[in-house]
Structure formats: structure tokens, C-alpha cells
A and B are shown apart, each in its own frame.
Chain A
Amino acid sequence: MTLILKPVETYRDDFTFSNSAHAIARFPFPFPEDQYRYSVNIEPATSRDPGSVFEHWFDIDEHYRSEMAERARVLEQDPRRYLVMPHMQTASWDALQMFMEHLSNDYPALFSLTRAGDQWHWRNHVLGIDQHFTFGDPGTLPCEPLEFITRQVQGDIALLDQRDNDLFMDAGMVTSPADWSLAFDAGMSFKQWHTPVPMAHELGVFDRALKYLLNIQVDKPVRRLNWTLTINPRMDTSPETFHEWGHDRSTVTAENAGALVHLRVELQFMARLPRSNGLMFSIRTYLISLNELVTNPVWATRLHRVLRDLPDPIADYKGMTRYRQPLLAWLSQFDPHA
């Protein structure tokens, strides 16, 4: 199936965002069983299921134009969503190269890259970008290399510096976080930025995950899924804009839950950056309204059971305590054993 990009839709104000039947069919539903607990759910990111979100390193889908327009709007209002510390220059170029090579290879109709030594020519046919530049020389790009490329890739990006047997959040482009802030986490270590997460520390999840991440090798990336719920198809749920979206949580009823509540799934991808020995962490976010989700009856039943039995500390952390009861009431109609 060829990829058809939709015209720009919105993730705010009038919320015109929606998924086509095709996008619903390839939605990465994150629950392999009826119950959810934190675990070290990391797997090698090998390509599988052509057409699925797991086929390529960096998935481009029908929402490409909308997400890039949304990122530009967020940055206009708050440039601090983008950050590169001085020692992350090599890592930024590593990231630019990784994106350009994979995107042009996997989506030749959308992107192209030609190279003669250090002289690179990048074209983005969707956004109408045609850029000649010298690899490694920031003066030949209209902005810094990480900003240049992440304005053209769906998903948030953090670049981690690896030192002292730990990872540090020293660069990134984060315009659609699930309630965390790059400016706040900047410079923190793996366990420091994970401090707010309940239960997982005690289970040893982060000790084991960190050991594993430190050993990721070049060209052997790994991935995992994470999820939460968001009211309205709002991409930018950051602490900086909490005043704009926090109160939405009190508007959910057993009648409107299907339209208002969205399952938000993050496909997280971790790859070694070859020259800098840093790590790329990309967070590709997929939103689906529950009305769209319940078109798949297996998903509908399972989501009901997962949310019903979710431990309170996790439900609280994910911000659903306020509307959990009306939401469960709405979802229970899809569970034959409810």
C-alpha cells in the first residue's frame, strides 16, 4: 500500500485530527495480555510486518504534515523545547546522518539524499526543502543540525550522552511529551529523570534497563512500547502548558469518553550513535480515540480489563484517576464478562 499523506489537521483548539481506517489497522496496540505491569519490555528493533509501524527505524505515516506543523507552532511559542549542550555537537551530526540515511532509503518518494564526500544534498519533497550543505559544518545549514532534521521527522527525540556508566539527557527536541519536560530533565541521569515513575525502581526495572542500554551496539537498535491516556488528540501535553490541558480531565463523562479519551502509544526506539558513542532515544507517538479503537472488539475488551485492573499508583501517575470511573463505565459495554 502506498503511503498517502493527509492535509494538515490540528492537535489543539478545534482538534480536527482523526485516523483513517488504514491508520487504525496499523495502530500499535500495546497490550499483549489483559493485564499491564511495568517490566523491562525491550526487544531488538528488527524490521517486521511490512506496512506496520515496526517495518522501518523511523515510521512516517499519514499525519506527517500535521505533526510537522504542530512542532513548528510549539517551537514558535516556546523555543526551549529544543536544546543541545555544547558537547553534543558530534551526536547531533550522528543523528542527522541516521535520519537522512534511513528516511531517504525507506521513503524514496518523500526524501532524497545524494552525497559526494562531505558535500550533501538533502531534499524533502513533502515540505519543499532542498538543501546543499557540508556535513559537519553547521554554518552551511539554516539552523543547527539537530533542529534542522527534527523539524522534518515525526516523533520527539532525546540524545543521551554516555559517560560514567550512565546516560545523560544533554540534547533533544521534545514538543509532544506525555507530561514531562526536556528543559526540566536537561542534564539529568537515567535514574534521575525516571524519579517520578512509581513502582518500577523497586522492581529493579531501571537498573536492568540501564545496563542493557549502555551496551547497545552500532546498527543494533532496540525498541519498546509505552502508553498513557490523553484527553482530546492533543500532542503537546507538557508541564509548561498544563494550564491549557489539565482541566480537560474533569470533562470526561460515561457518555463522551469515546470521543474525548485517546489512547496514546509511544513507540520508543534506542540506537547507538556511531561517532559520538551517544544514544538516540526517539519517541514516536500514536494517538487513537476510543471510538476509533473500539472498532476492533478484541482491543476494546482488553483495554477495559487493563484499565480496570491497573494498580492505583500507575493509574495515578498516568493522570487518569479523575476520570477512571466514567471511563470504565463507558468501556465496560465492550466487555462480555464485565
Chain B
Amino acid sequence: MNDVIQVRVHAALNITPVIREITFEPVDTALPAYSAGSHVQVHIPLAQRTLRNAYSLLNAPADRTAYRIAVRLQEHSRGGSRYLHENLKVGDVLNLSRPANLFPIHTLGRHHILIAGGIGITPFLAYSEHLLREGASFELHYAYRSGLTDAYVQPLAERLGDRLHAYDSLERPLNLAPILSNQPLGSHLYICGPQRLLASVREQASALGWPDGRIHWEAFSSAEPGLPFSVELAQSGRRIEVGADQSLLEALEANAVEIPNLCRGGVCGQCVTRYVKGDVTHRDHFLAANERADRLMPCVSRGCGSSLVLDL
């Protein structure tokens, strides 16, 4: 079974000055089915190398004729979101990884509370379709900056009616306390958005007595650019340079060292790699503190200071 799906850009539309919605259609076979909350990695062919960025799938999961994603232009982009905004054209053919789900809906939830900040709305578009179809009880809280990240307010208002609670951050800031209080037993909370939002929802929910198992978040922290560094592979003796705007995983792949990977955002645990020496900036959400002594997640973490030696 092929690891990548070839797709053609069917439509690309700027829905706000910073958000572009892209629709992919299959090149030959039907697209694989997926569950709400799934993402794909888009292989972005930059001039020097191919980047892989993860984006949530937006459309109703039952729909297998197209995949839709929404891309926010990142100011500190490594070039991926800029390429998708400025270079990608209708008719272009690209590779996607197969869909995977690191942010699934809890099947036994009695009531689902979705909280989105800005572009974090994307997984909840698929969630909403799924929950409507199942006749499930839910509410969506959507905080945005009007004219900038309010891409889906109008269509959601039409589709969800009073299940949607919209917060234009300048006029009506998101007030968490009433949302997190007095919710029925068996409620589950889902958060997607900037780290600030994530942190404050988790903090307040936990102060109000929400058990950890009922709070779910999508915590992509895709490889931030950093300083260049070099690694040595202990078993082959090879030396590999990692550029400032490249992750360690990408540098290894560029040198034909394949590491299993899935999220490319430090959460799934697939890319775990042992190291024998060196200082590491750990940026993952997977390893326990004691595991970090000899393991790292190359999709997000980087070497710093003394030279890094991997057990590869």
C-alpha cells in the first residue's frame, strides 16, 4: 500500500487575508475515508527541499470525493504556508500522507464542548458534521479576530444555529468560566488553537475540577526554526548538518535516513530516537522527563551546545 496519496488542487480560495482554503481531488483512485479530527501531511515542494506540514481535514468525514484544508499564513513560516498561499495553483499535483487521527472525538461523551481559537477551528468543522450526523449533543465556542481569522463564522452560524457561540476577540472576549461551569456529567472538552488558549483552558478546567481524561487538545508545535546544528550517527559514523529552518527529522530524511513518523509535531511518539551524547532542546509532548536522558523526538527537538550523537 502506497504511503502517499497523489492529489490535484481543485480549488484554492483566500477566505480572509491570512487564511486560504485548499480543496484537493484524487488523481486516480478514491481518497481514503477518515474520522473527524484527522490530519494529513502536505508535502510542500520548496526549491531546496520538500517540507511536510500537518493540516486538519475540514470536510464531512463521509465525503470521499475531496479533502479540504485551511492554511493560515504564518509570519515566522519556514516557507511552507507561504508557498501554499502564494505559489500553489489550481491544477497543481501534490503528495499527501494518508490521514491519521491524533485528535478523535470521545465515543462515549454525552456532551461535547468544542473551543477554537482562530485557525484552530479547522478540526471542529469536521467534528460538527460528524456530531450533527450522529445527533449528538454539542456546543462550539469560536474566538477569532474579525476580518482576519473569522473564516468560518457565517457558514457555521447557518449550520449550527444556537450551538455556535462566536467571540470577536476585540468586541466580546471569550470568557471561559461560564463555559466550563455547570456542564452535565459525561461532558468532554476539546481545544484547538494557540498555546495561550490551550494553557488557559486547561488551567481553568482543572481548577474547576475537570478530570484530565475529559480534556482533549490538539497540540501541534511544529518544528520552530532554531539554530543550525550538526549530528553524528554513531553506527554509521556519518555526520549530518541540520539547517536553521529544518527539523532534525527532515535533515535525516534528506540524507536517506528514514525514521517512522506520524504527527511530525512531537505528540504521537512514532519518531522516538535514542541518542548517546549531546545537549538537546526537547520540544515534544510525548517523552517523560526520565526518558529524555537518552531519547529525543527528532520531528521537533533539536541539538544545542555540544555535538549530538544519535544511536543510528
Q: Which of A162, A164, A215 contacts B269 (CB 8 A)?
A: A215
Report how far A275 CA is from B34 CA in the complex, Å: 5
Contact status B32-A219, CB under 8 Å: yes
Contact status A274-B35, CB under 8 Å: yes
Contact status B108-A217, CB under 8 Å: no
Contact status B101-A215, CB under 8 Å: no
Query: How close is B244's CB to chain A, nearest CB, in angstroms?
Result: 30
Taking CB atoms, residues of chain A closer than 8 Å to B61 are 275
Contact status A218-B33, CB under 8 Å: yes
Query: How close is B268's CB to chain A, nearest CB, in angstroms?
Result: 6
- For the complex, is A6 an interface residue (Cβ under 8 Å from B)? no
Contact status B107-A163, CB under 8 Å: yes
Contact indicator per residue, chain A 200-217, by CB within 8 Å of chain B (1) or not (0)? 000000000001000101
Contact indicator per residue, chain B 50-74, by CB within 8 Å of chain A (1) or not (0)? 0000000000011000000000000
Interface size for chain A: under 10, 10 to 19, 20 to 34, or 35 or more residues?
A: 10 to 19
Contact status A217-B34, CB under 8 Å: no
- For the complex, is A87 an interface residue (Cβ under 8 Å from B)? yes
- For the complex, is B222 an interface residue (Cβ under 8 Å from A)? no
A219 touching B1 in the complex, CB below 8 Å, given contacts A161-B107, A276-B35, A277-B35: yes
Q: Which of A211-261 contact B (CB under 8 A)?
A: 211, 215, 217-220
A218 touching B269 in the complex, CB below 8 Å, given contacts A163-B104, A274-B35, A275-B61: no
Report how far A211 CA is from B32 CA in the complex, Å: 24
Contact indicator per residue, chain B 203-230, by CB within 8 Å of chain A (1) or not (0)? 0000000000100000000000000000
- For the complex, is B80 an interface residue (Cβ under 8 Å from A)? no
Taking CB atoms, residues of chain A closer than 8 Å to B106 are 163-164
Q: How many residues of B contact A (CB 8 A)?
A: 22
Q: Which of B26-40 contact A (CB under 8 A)?
A: 32-35, 37-38
Q: Which of B6-49 contact A (CB under 8 A)?
A: 32-35, 37-38
Contact status B262-A220, CB under 8 Å: no
A163 touching B262 in the complex, CB below 8 Å, given contacts A218-B98, A274-B33, A275-B62: no
- For the complex, is B298 an interface residue (Cβ under 8 Å from A)? no
Which of chain B's residues has its CB closest to A91's CB? B107
Report how far A210 CA is from B99 CA in the complex, Å: 20
- For the complex, is B233 an interface residue (Cβ under 8 Å from A)? no
Report how far A274 CA is from B33 CA in the complex, Å: 5
Contact status A218-B262, CB under 8 Å: no
Taking CB atoms, residues of chain B closer than 8 Å to A162 are 104
Taking CB atoms, residues of chain A closer than 8 Å to B94 are none
Contact status B32-A218, CB under 8 Å: yes
A277 touching B104 in the complex, CB below 8 Å, given contacts A211-B269, A215-B270: yes
A275 touching B35 in the complex, CB below 8 Å, given contacts A163-B108, A215-B269, A220-B1: yes
Interface centre among A94, A211, A217 (most CB of B within 10 A): A217
Taking CB atoms, residues of chain B closer than 8 Å to A94 are 33
Q: Which of B95-111 contact A (CB under 8 A)?
A: 98-101, 104, 106-108
Report how far A164 CA is from B34 CA in the complex, Å: 19
Report how far A277 CA is from B103 CA in the complex, Å: 10
A274 touching B32 in the complex, CB below 8 Å, given contacts A211-B269, A217-B100, A219-B98: yes
A215 touching B62 in the complex, CB below 8 Å, given contacts A164-B213, A274-B32, A275-B35: no
Q: Which of A215, A220, A274 contacts B34 (CB 8 A)?
A: A274
Report how far A228 CA is from B100 CA in the complex, Å: 35
Q: Which of A161-177 contact B (CB under 8 A)?
A: 161-164
Which of chain A's residues has its CB closest to B109's CB? A163
A217 touching B107 in the complex, CB below 8 Å, given contacts A211-B269, A274-B32, A275-B62: no
A87 touching B262 in the complex, CB below 8 Å, given contacts A218-B33, A277-B101: no
Q: Which of A164, A211, A217, A276 contacts B98 (CB 8 A)?
A: A217
Report how far A211 CA is from B260 CA in the complex, Å: 14
Query: How close is A153's CB to chain B, nearest CB, in angstroms?
Result: 20
Q: Which of A164, A215, A218, A276 contacts B99 (CB 8 A)?
A: A218
Report how far A154 CA is from B98 CA in the complex, Å: 29
Query: How close is B267's CB to chain A, nearest CB, in angstroms?
Result: 11
Contact status B107-A87, CB under 8 Å: yes
Report how far A268 CA is from B34 CA in the complex, Å: 23
Report how far A275 CA is from B33 CA in the complex, Å: 6
Which of chain B's residues has its CB closest to A273's CB? B35
Query: How close is A70's CB to chain B, nearest CB, in angstroms?
Result: 32
Taking CB atoms, residues of chain A closer than 8 Å to B101 are 277
Contact indicator per residue, chain B 103-122, by CB within 8 Å of chain A (1) or not (0)? 01011100000000000000
Interface centre among B1, B34, B98, B101 (most CB of A within 10 A): B1
Which of chain B's residues has its CB closest to A170's CB? B107
Report how far A274 CA is from B40 CA in the complex, Å: 13
Report how far A220 CA is from B100 CA in the complex, Å: 11
Query: How close is B64's CB to chain A, nearest CB, in angstroms?
Result: 9
7 nearest interchain CB pairs?
A: A274-B33, A277-B35, A87-B107, A277-B104, A219-B1, A277-B101, A217-B100
21 A–B contacts, CB within 8 A, in A order: A87-B107, A87-B108, A94-B33, A163-B104, A164-B106, A164-B213, A217-B98, A217-B100, A217-B262, A218-B34, A218-B99, A219-B1, A219-B98, A220-B98, A274-B32, A274-B34, A274-B35, A275-B34, A275-B62, A277-B38, A277-B104
A215-B269, A276-B107 are known; give 7 further A-B pairs, CB within 8 A: A94-B33, A215-B268, A218-B34, A218-B98, A220-B98, A274-B35, A275-B33
